[in-house]
């Protein structure tokens, strides 16, 4: 077990916010977790699980023990006629994992290319992009319970995936016994990639790429390249401009609420959902309130995509939170819709 005191967290959060961990422990496997739970100085301390830091806003130094997940490994577990099962260590970089599957000749994750963060964080918020969510490719995961030290495996149903949601985002105290927030440290994730591979091209940006290219039957690698190009054009690279991807979830409203808004704002971007509700583009709502390019201190709204808040250099978590609240207030006042943040405020 590797232990560091007063560890800088700036390199470990994609917003690039300056903060420290009083104690940071690098977790390379289940044995490290067992060692923490057996250690008299650590076992009763509150703990904070850190993956790729791509979905957090740090508002100060972290007093809880930071368990930085660095479990590595990539292997094909099963390559059958109907599907391929691949297992990754939770500390693997998500995008590198996607690229590796394609290099091995397995398509299925290409729509999820270039999403920042680690493999272990992917099920926590059920990452999704361009018509695919992790739950569509998820097989199972192994985790360890930080309260009992017990190791366990969960399948997709047990993960209770929803839109940017899972059992790992719910805290047991709030939702009776349902919820593993802060309690389950994910060690390994397995995905199942169906055979034969089929392209998922329904998303409008991909349709445009398809039409522009003139390609009839694109390969998984071709779609991967398109997704990388689309994302690079509209989302800031966290290595250059600190950010946590979409800052708010796209809200859902009833058909009546949507009609009401359309009557006032006919251009609103909206998508009918299979359950009869309507999903609205939060980026459009924020943009319509005039937020693109605006700032609070060094925290700003990205010029090319209003759903992304950025660190213009030296932003504090407090500035990000103040900006996010101001956006929520103005969207609520104009549209009567409460935007829900995607990242966790620490
Ligand atoms: N729009 C605006 N102004 C803006 C931003 C968006 O008018 O400033 C409009 C766009 O023109 C478009 C619509 O809003 O008509 C939706 O925008 P976009 O296609 O960029 O997708 P999104 O809804 O903003 C979602 C996910 C992304 C994911 C993309 C592609 C959420 C919260 N975000 O973004 O996920 O990559 O779709 O599938 O669901 C993330 O979660 O971090 C993330 C980047």
Q: What is the pLDDT of residues 106-126, one digit of tens each?
A: 999 999 999 999 999 999 999
Output the pLDDT for position 45. 95
- Residue 43, pLDDT above cutoff 60: yes
Please indicate, yes or no, if residue 264 is contained in any of the structural domains.
yes
Please give the share of the chain, as a percent, with pLDDT higher than 90.
95
Give pTM, 2 decimals.
Answer: 0.94
| Residue having the nearest C-alpha atom to atom 36 of ligand 1 | 129
Choose one of 194, 221, 250: the last residue of a domain.
Answer: 194
Give the residues across from 26 on adjacent strands. Answer: 2, 68
C-alpha 98/C-alpha 5 separation (Å) is: 33
Q: Is there a catalytic annotation at residue 164?
A: yes
Contact 209, 226 (CB under 8 A): yes
Span from the CA of 307 to the centroid of ligand 1 (angstroms) = 7
CATH number at residue 107: 3.30.465.10
| Residue having the nearest C-alpha atom to atom 40 of ligand 1 | 246
Cα angle, residue 164 at apex, residues 185 and 333 outer, rounded to 5°: 130
Average pLDDT over residues 250-262: 94
The per-residue pLDDT for range 22-39, each reduced to its tens digit, is: 999 999 999 999 999 999
Average pLDDT over residues 82-90: 98
Span from the CA of 305 to the centroid of ligand 1 (angstroms) = 8
- Sequence-distant (≥ 6) Cβ neighbours of residue 325 within 8 angstroms: none
Output the pLDDT for position 103. 98
Contact 249 CB / ligand 1 (< 6 Å): yes
Q: How many domains does the chain have?
A: 3
Q: Are residues 88 and 180 in the same domain?
A: yes
C-alpha 309/C-alpha 114 separation (Å) is: 18
Q: Is there a catalytic annotation at residue 342?
A: yes
Output the pLDDT for position 179. 85
Contact 306 CB / ligand 1 (< 6 Å): yes
The per-residue pLDDT for range 122-147, each reduced to its tens digit, is: 999 999 999 999 999 999 999 999 99
The residue segments making up the domain with residue 79 are: 74-194
Please indicate, yes or no, if residue 224 is contained in any of the structural domains.
no
Choose one of 46, 69, 92: the last residue of a domain.
Answer: 69
Q: Are residues 189 and 161 in the same domain?
A: yes
Q: Are residues 65 and 124 in the same domain?
A: no
Identified catalytic residue from 26, 190, 246, 319: 246
The per-residue pLDDT for range 272-285, each reduced to its tens digit, is: 998 999 999 999 99
Q: Are residues 169 and 109 in the same domain?
A: yes
pLDDT-wise least confident of 88-97, 102-111, 254-263: 254-263
Identify the three-state secondary structure at position 319. helix
Q: Are residues 167 and 276 in the same domain?
A: no
Output the pLDDT for position 173. 64
Output the pLDDT for position 297. 97
C-alpha 14/C-alpha 94 separation (Å) is: 14
The per-residue pLDDT for range 165-194, each reduced to its tens digit, is: 999 999 876 555 568 988 999 999 999 999
Q: Are residues 8 and 112 in the same domain?
A: no
Q: Look over the chain and give the mean of its residue pLDDT values, rounded to a whole number.
A: 95
Contact 281 CB / ligand 1 (< 6 Å): yes
CATH number at residue 54: 3.30.43.10
- Residue 293, pLDDT above cutoff 80: yes
Contact 151 CB / ligand 1 (< 6 Å): no
Output the pLDDT for position 2. 85
Q: Are residues 20 and 89 in the same domain?
A: no
251-260: b (≥16 Cβ within 10 Å) or e: bbbeeebbee
pLDDT-derived band at 319, boundaries 50, 70, 90: very high
Q: Are residues 41 and 101 in the same domain?
A: no
């Amino acid at each position: 077990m590797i232990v560091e005191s007063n560890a800088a967290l700036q390199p470990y959060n994609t917003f690039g916010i300056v903060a420290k961990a009083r104690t940071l422990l690098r977790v390379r496997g289940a044995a490290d977790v067992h060692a923490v739970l057996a250690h008299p100085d650590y076992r009763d301390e509150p703990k904070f699980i850190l993956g790729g830091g791509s979905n957090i806003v740090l508002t100060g130094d972290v007093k809880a023990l930071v368990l930085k997940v660095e479990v590595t490994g990539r292997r094909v577990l099963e390559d059958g006629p109907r599907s391929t099962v691949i297992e990754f260590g939770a500390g693997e970089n998500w995008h590198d994992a996607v690229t590796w599957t394609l290099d091995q000749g397995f398509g299925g994750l290409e729509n999820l290319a270039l999403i920042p963060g680690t493999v272990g964080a992917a099920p926590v918020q059920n990452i999704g992009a361009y018509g695919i969510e992790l739950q569509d490719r998820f097989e199972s995961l192994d985790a360890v319970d930080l309260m009992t030290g017990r190791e366990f495996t969960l399948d997709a149903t047990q993960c209770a995936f929803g839109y940017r949601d899972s059992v790992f985002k719910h805290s047991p105290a709030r939702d009776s016994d349902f919820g593993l927030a802060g309690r389950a440290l994910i060690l390994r994730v397995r995905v199942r990639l169906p055979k034969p591979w089929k392209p998922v091209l329904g998303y409008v940006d991909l349709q445009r790429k398809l039409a522009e290219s003139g390609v009839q039957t694109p390969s998984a690698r071709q779609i991967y390249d398109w997704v990388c190009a689309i994302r690079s054009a509209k989302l800031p690279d966290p290595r250059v401009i600190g950010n946590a991807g979409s800052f708010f979830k796209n809200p859902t409203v009833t058909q009546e609420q949507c009609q009401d808004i359309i009557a006032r704002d006919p251009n609103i971007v909206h998508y009918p959902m299979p359950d009869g509700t309507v999903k609205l583009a939060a980026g459009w709502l924020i943009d319509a309130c005039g937020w693109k390019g605006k700032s609070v201190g060094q925290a700003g709204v990205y010029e090319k995509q209003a759903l992304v808040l950025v660190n213009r250099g030296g932003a504090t978590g407090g500035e990000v939170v103040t900006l996010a609240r101001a956006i929520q207030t103005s969207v609520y006042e104009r549209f009567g819709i409460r935007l829900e943040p995607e990242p966790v405020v620490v």
